[in-house]
Amino acid sequence: MKRVAIVGGGVAGLAAAYELARLARNGASLQVVLFEASTRLGGIIETVHEGGFVIECGPDAWVTEKPWARELAEELGLGNEVMPSNDATRKTYVLVDKKLQAMPDGMRMMVPVDLDAMDASDMFSAAAKLAYHEEMGRAEELREAAPDQDESVAEFVRRHFGDEVLAKIGAPLLSGVFGGDVTKLSVRAVMAPFVAMERERGSLIGALQASVAAKRHSVFTTLRSGMGTLVDRMIAAIPEDWVRLLAEVRFISYGEEGWLVGTARGVERFDAVMMAAPVDVACSLLSPVDPEVAPLMEMDASSAVVAAFGFPDAAKFPVPPGFGFLVPPGSDSLLLAGTFVDQKFEDRVPQGGRLVRAFFGGKAAERLMRCGNDETAAVARMELARILGPLPEPQVTVVRRWPRSLPQYAVGHLERMKKLDERVSALDGLWLLGNGYHGVGVPDLVRDARVAARRMARKSEGLAEVAEL
Ligand SMILES: Cc1cc2nc3c(=O)[nH]c(=O)nc-3n(C[C@H](O)[C@H](O)[C@H](O)COP(=O)(O)OP(=O)(O)OC[C@H]3O[C@@H](n4cnc5c(N)ncnc54)[C@H](O)[C@@H]3O)c2cc1C
């Protein structure tokens, strides 16, 4: 019987535990302990149900193109719950000169699939529109100039479309997802599909227009009752006695006796450790095990603060049609983004209600980290009101702080991760999971955790067949 410790019960640790439970049910000889420091499982995934509102405190959806979260949901019997975003009304605004300006239809991040829609939009100057049109004609030049090395998102976007597109769409979009600085974020780590398109076709617009998939499906997918249901269903499929809450792992060591994992309650021996705590925590727990891993795991991380407001009567708080808005860095607003939740997804509000979510990142989030819920909610309401007009009294308010929750994949990230993976694979029985390494999105985390769990079980059983169980 192999003993496996999973450290951290966010979606990565849970997906690993779920996969191991599945393998154990199919005969793999495994005994698992999932150590979770807090009182609840799910980590950044949390859905609050209150007064008929379905309020996401962390992720509200996954990118449809990546199938791994949907596959897991279907496996967990949630096929009927899987629902797309309301893409018929998809529109995203950007705060430009204190006003919300609609992004043109048919954009895939900062790349327009439909150049006519882009031309018809008021968002860009004539020079930026020309830069978009010229990008297709520059395909060969762009393909040949594609660098062998990693570069920043800013350099990449600038090369294709120029400064204005970077400032108006590139920077706010990437900050909205990663809470980060486009001049530091690694394009290969955070925009890999675009890098591949550049390598193959040169022009990103040309590549997207050629891809039928880009035009077909909705961009985001979620669960009708919220992302928390994915967590609840995984928990239900994991043996209860595998899970320990309020069990913060305080040290880890590795030696001839295998892995030792220590909490306030004592020390236990394991054959393998699946480290799914946030990268900062993982780094400090593992640096005594191998001092060379620590420098490879050190990275900046951005904090996030979310404040959601549910209103009983949408008519009393009209918002523009669409999914919400982004705020470019340097704007006169503390917000990073706002989501019109009831317009983005069905069934998020009681009949006739309105749900708006404010999202803070970067320095504003750091400052709000020190404020109480009431103060944070007041700041969020004030910042929303400056953009959308006066807010009525909300029926429901939910505030969440996620300190250092969005690791920043800086230029060179992929090479660093390659070295880290080599180093870690030399330590028999250690697996790194979670959002610090190979993707921050829920689908990537689910896929990587399940693959690692299968590999781990196969290795510990010495049976190739375990992978197929
Ligand atoms: C506000 C916000 C919105 C987001 N929106 C989206 C989205 O729409 N779509 C999307 O795909 N992704 C989104 N993301 C990213 C995604 O949600 C995260 O990358 C993902 O949930 C992280 O999961 P994880 O398991 O790696 O880490 P976490 O969820 O951080 O889980 C780590 C767990 O480890 C525990 N822990 C910490 N220290 C210890 C210890 N010493 N011992 C034991 N346990 C420990 C923690 O308590 C926590 O439960 C969003 C992120 C944020 C912050």
Residue 425, domain CATH = 3.50.50.60
> Residues 402, 312: one domain?
yes
DSSP 242: G
**Judgement on whether residues 110 and 126 belong to the same structural domain of the protein:** yes
The runs of H, that is alpha helices, within 191-260 are 192-201, 204-210, 213-216, 228-236
Collect all residues with Cβ–Cβ distance below 8 Å to 285 and sequence separation of at least 6: 7, 249, 251, 252, 275, 277
pLDDT band with cut points at 50, 70 and 90 for residue 87: confident
- Alpha carbon nearest to ligand 1 atom 22, residue: 435
CB distance 296 to ligand 1 below 6 Å = no
- Report the separation in Å between the CA atom of 350 and the middle of ligand 1, taken as the mean of its atom positions: 28
Question: Does residue 251 share a domain with residue 118?
Answer: no
Confidence band for 467, pLDDT divided at 50, 70 and 90: very low
Residue 180: pLDDT above 90?
Answer: no
Q: Examine the fold and report which residue of 389, 407, 425 is the final residue of a domain before the chain moves on.
A: 407
For residues 311 and 294, membership in a common domain is answered with: no
Same domain, 33 and 159: no
Say if 280 falls within a structural domain: yes
**Confidence band, pLDDT 50/70/90 cuts, at residue 407:** very high
Q: Is 60's C-beta closer than 6 angstroms to any atom of ligand 1?
A: yes
Whether the pLDDT of residue 196 is over 50: the answer is yes
pLDDT of residue 461: 65
Residue with the smallest CA separation from ligand 1 atom 30 is 43
| Best residue among 7, 92, 299, 405 to mutate for probing ligand 1, ranked by most atoms within 8 Å of CB | 405
Q: Is residue 398 part of a domain?
A: yes
Query: Domain with 122 in it: what CATH number?
Result: 1.10.3110.10
Is residue 308 within 6 Å of ligand 1 at its C-beta? no
Atom 7, ligand 1: residue with shortest CA distance = 59
User: Ligand 1 mean position to 405 CA, how many Å?
Assistant: 6
130-154: average pLDDT? 94
The burial class, CB within 10 Å (0-12 / 13-18 / 19+), for 1 is exposed
Six-digit token string for 3: 């003993």
Q: Does any domain span residue 118?
A: yes
Q: Determine whether the shortest distance from the Cβ of 182 to ligand 1 is under 6 A.
A: no
Residue 91: is its pLDDT beyond 70?
A: yes
Q: Is the CB of 35 under 6 A from ligand 1?
A: yes
- Report the separation in Å between the CA atom of 172 and the middle of ligand 1, taken as the mean of its atom positions: 22
Is the same domain home to 291 and 438? yes
Q: Domain span at residue 358?
A: 301-407
For 308-318, write each residue's pLDDT tens digit. Answer: 999 999 999 99
Q: Which pLDDT value is given to residue 178? A: 73
Please report, rounded to a whole number, the percentage of residues in the chain having pLDDT higher than 70: 97
For residues 169 and 328, what is the distance between their CA atoms, to the nearest angstrom?
Answer: 7
When pLDDT is averaged across residues 211-223 and rounded to a whole number, the result is: 77
Asked whether residue 156 carries a pLDDT value surpassing 50, the answer given is: yes
Q: Does residue 113 share a domain with residue 206?
A: yes
Rounded mean pLDDT of 34-57?
Answer: 98
Instruction: Tell how far the Cα of 397 is from the centroid of ligand 1, in angstroms.
Output: 22
Domain count, the chain: 3
pLDDT of residue 259: 97
151 CB-side CA count, 13 A = 14
Residues 207 and 149 in one domain: yes
Q: Is the CB of 36 under 6 A from ligand 1?
A: yes
Indicate the top mutation candidate among 44, 55, 244, 339 to test ligand 1's pocket, ranked by most ligand atoms within 8 A of CB. Answer: 44
Q: Please indicate, yes or no, if residue 394 is contained in any of the structural domains.
A: yes
Per-position b or e across 265-284, b if 16+ CB within 10 A of its CB? eeeeebbbbbbbbbbbbbbe
Atom 12 (ligand 1): residue with closest C-alpha? 441
Q: Is 441 helix (H, G, I), strand (E, B) or coil?
A: coil
Cβ neighbours of residue 332 closer than 8 Å, sequence gap 6 or more: 98
Nearest to 43 by CA among 9, 71, 67, 85: 9
The verdict on 295 and 306 lying in the same domain is no
Residue 38 lies in a domain: yes
Q: Are residues 292 and 420 both part of a single domain?
A: yes
Q: Work out which ligand 1 atom sits closest to the CA atom of 443.
A: 11
CA–CA gap between residue 469 and residue 460 (Å, rounded):
14
- Do strands 301-311 and 354-360 pair parallel, antiparallel, or not at all (unpaired)? antiparallel
Of ligand 1's atoms, which has the minimum distance to the CA of residue 12? 25
Residue 292 clears pLDDT 90, i.e. is over it = yes
Q: What pLDDT was estimated at residue 464?
A: 45
State the distance from the centre of ligand 1 to the C-alpha of 169, rounded, in angstroms: 26
CA distance 197 to 201: 6
Phi, psi (deg, nearest 5) at residue 141? -60, -45
In tens, the pLDDT along 275-288 reads 999 999 999 999 99
- Residue 262 in contact with ligand 1 by CB distance below 6 A: no
165 within domain boundaries: yes
Q: Are residues 282 and 364 in the same domain?
A: no
- My answer on whether 283 and 431 are in the same domain is yes
